[in-house]
Amino acid sequence: MGRLELLTESFQRSEAVLPAFAPRGTIVYTMITRFACAVAVLFILSVPSGLRAQGQDSSSWLSVRQDSLLIQGQAVDQSLLPTITHYLRRAKDTIEVFFRTQYPTHIVVRVFPDRKSLTEFWRQAWGAPEFQPACWMIASGTASLLALLSPRVWNTEACEHDPTDSVGTYRLITHEMVHVFHGQLNPRAEFDGLDSIAWFVEGLATYASGQLEGAHRQRLQEAVRRRQLPEQLRDVWTGPYRYALAGSLVEYIDTRHGRDRLIAMLGCTSQEALLTALQTSENHLLLRWRETLDAAGP
């Protein structure tokens, strides 16, 4: 779990029209929150040493700066950077509307040209030299960096991701951007030590990114039909329905307790703190959530 599990997959399909990745990309478009759990840490970052290119000559990275976004990529992906920048800008706007506040500091995004360089980065960043990512693992997000495998190689070096699925790609990037936002407003900026609340970290990103719609909604209905609904929070982020279940539980919290309460939970670092913020117990929270799902039907 922890950072190794805070990776994402996306299975959404939609009829909405967004720019897909092509050989030549173009850019189509261009409050202070109080926390119940902890005082949020506002990270004032330059690009720290930990973000320097690992496994690549740092001088070989191209950089695109737009407002608070810094997007880095290799020359081989130069034509994709405008489209990726478009997705990132849209994601940033969506997330700031959802959370009713701006990102506390700038956002660093690195587009890795191949699986080998991304895996090497993860191994070094996480101190896990033997780590071997599954084929669907193509992105990660924390306060300090959003790492993304170039969509140029998804068909050959990844699985379960379609670079021509513009909506699915946008939601995947938005999912990781939610992690960046969450990390910038949480004392555990890299999500280390947050295994016990992985359901909230991943559920929040799934829900706020729009990934709960489409295929994940279908998986949720399947879980309800098969009576695969967890009775303990530790079981929410497990099994084949974990994204659907975690996203649904966060959706329930947002609907039942309100957006302000959900925002107040961003600074929490433990299960106890989350439940205290909600002023409820684990059993009561899960019982009411399951009742809501049962009432909605499969």
Tokens of 159: 């699985």
Please provide the average confidence, as pLDDT, over all residues in the chain: 85
Q: Please, what's the b/e burial string for 175-213 (b: 16 or more CB within 10 A of its CB; e: otherwise)?
A: bbbbbbbbbbbbebbbbeebbbbbbbbbbbbbbbbbbbe
Burial of 18 (0-12, 13-18, 19+ CB in 10 A): middle
Q: Does domain 2-12+22-184 fall into CATH 3.40.640.10? A: no
User: Tens digit of pLDDT for each residue in 264-273?
Assistant: 999 999 999 9
Question: Residue 22 has what pLDDT?
Answer: 40
Q: How far apart are CA 195 and CA 207, in angstroms?
A: 19
User: Tens digit of pLDDT for each residue in 212-232?
Assistant: 997 899 999 999 999 999 999
| Cα distance between the two ends of the chain | 30
Task: List all residues 6 or more positions away from 62 whose beta carbon is below 8 Å from its beta carbon.
Answer: 72, 73, 74, 75, 78, 81
Tokens of 244: 């659907």
User: Tens digit of pLDDT for each residue in 58-74?
Assistant: 568 999 999 999 999 99
For residues 150 and 111, the answer to whether their CB atoms sit within 8 Å is yes
Entry pTM = 0.84
Stretch among 45-49, 76-80, 155-159, 286-290 having the lowest mean pLDDT: 45-49
Q: How confident is the model at residue 24 (pLDDT cuts 50, 70, 90)?
A: very low
Question: Residue 214 has what pLDDT?
Answer: 79
For residues 87 and 164, the answer to whether their CB atoms sit within 8 Å is no
Write down the residue that tokens 């599954």 correspond to: 134
* Domain range list for the chain: 2-12+22-184, 195-296
| pLDDT greater at residue 70 or residue 22 | 70
Task: List all residues 6 or more positions away from 63 whose beta carbon is below 8 Å from its beta carbon.
Answer: 70, 71, 72
Q: How far apart are CA 182 and CA 57, in angstroms?
A: 30
Task: List all residues 6 or more positions away from 7 whose beta carbon is below 8 Å from its beta carbon.
Answer: 133, 137, 138, 139, 140
Q: How far apart are CA 50 and CA 107, in angstroms?
A: 14
For residues 39 and 266, the answer to whether their CB atoms sit within 8 Å is no
User: Tens digit of pLDDT for each residue in 106-165?
Assistant: 999 999 999 999 999 999 999 999 999 999 999 999 999 999 999 999 999 999 999 999
E strands of the chain, at which residues? 62-66, 69-73, 107-112, 139-141, 146-149
Stretch among 42-56, 177-191, 246-260 having the lowest mean pLDDT: 42-56
Q: Quick check: 13 pLDDT over 50?
A: no
Question: Residue 290 has what pLDDT?
Answer: 97
The amino acid at residue 117 is S
